[in-house]
Amino acid sequence: MRIPIESREQWLALRQQDVTASTCGCLLGVHPYCTPYGLYLLKAGIVGEDPEETGPMRRGRLLEPVAIELLREQNPLWEIAPPRAYYRDPDLRLGATPDALAVDDAGKLGVVQIKTVEPSVFRRKWMDGGEVDPPLWIVCQAIEEAHLTGAEWAAVAALVVGFGVDLHVVPIPIHDGIVERIKAEVVAFWSRIERREPYPPDYARDGALIARQFEEAKVGEIIDLTHDNSLPPLAAEDEKLAAELKASKDRRAAVRSEILAKIGNAEIALFQGGRIFAPTTRRKSYTVKETSFRDLRIKLAKNMERTL
């Protein structure tokens, strides 16, 4: 199904009803920014998608025409155009917004997923032994976009913007096995939504989402967790880590004070193995807008209380 995009608001509404190609990689465990738990909260309506355009999104939108022009220069026999449409499978509730569709010199329809990348990030996350190797979540995105548009081939175009502008186009094989795996995971995902059964959170990655979900405490409410055997070791570990952080912070402050005493009023100090820069930095005053957060306190049996 192809739906022309008429406005950003309409596009966001279309995306809300589906798992999109840009996030399906999280259901396969290969997405660096999205987790199954986070996707569940979003599609279940527990947290909302930020309607504001982020800096990277704005950069991608503004530079997408540049990437398409470079793509045309590199492939003068191709017919290339942004589709300005949303494609979806209404039965699976799976959708995609391709950046560009192209008909190659053999007359075959393809899809091109464009990513703008900072040079250091490109070297660190896209290069493998001298070859350009797109991250797996982007590979999944391109494959799913090809499937939904009926394309015969797929490619990822990395626009690297530094002192110059370089476009690296990488063909992506369309593996039927990956398409079927994505379909199966999407079916399982919507089944969880129907059963109201969230994925287990990744506590290292989902902390901000958990904080958003439980932002407001119910005044006076008490919950009995004496049956939860995992909490005592967690509380003990938290106390241990807090003590280690405080000791580390205090020791670092002492070390830096000793260094400053040796430097005195000098801005630069040379020492065996390096140099120290200590210019005076002045911070302008500013007003911080009001925020809210959960003031989590842990009180152990020995009556020690502290604030996280």
Residue 248 to residue 242: CA distance in whole angstroms: 10
Residue 297: band (very low, low, confident or very high) from pLDDT cuts 50, 70, 90: low
Triad 113, 114, 118: Cα angle to 5°: 140
Report the first-to-last Cα separation within the chain, whole angstroms: 50
164 vs 81, higher pLDDT: 81
Triad 248, 250, 253: Cα angle to 5°: 105
Coil, helix or strand for 229?
coil
Q: Give all domains of the chain, ordered by start, each with its CATH number.
A: 2-195 (3.90.320.10), 231-307 (no CATH)
Amino acid letter, 59:
R
113 has a pLDDT exceeding 90: yes
79 has a pLDDT exceeding 50: yes
Q: What mean pLDDT do residues 144-150 have?
A: 97
Residue 147 to residue 115: CA distance in whole angstroms: 19
Residue 308: band (very low, low, confident or very high) from pLDDT cuts 50, 70, 90: very low
Q: What are phi and psi of 276, to 5 degrees?
A: -120, 130
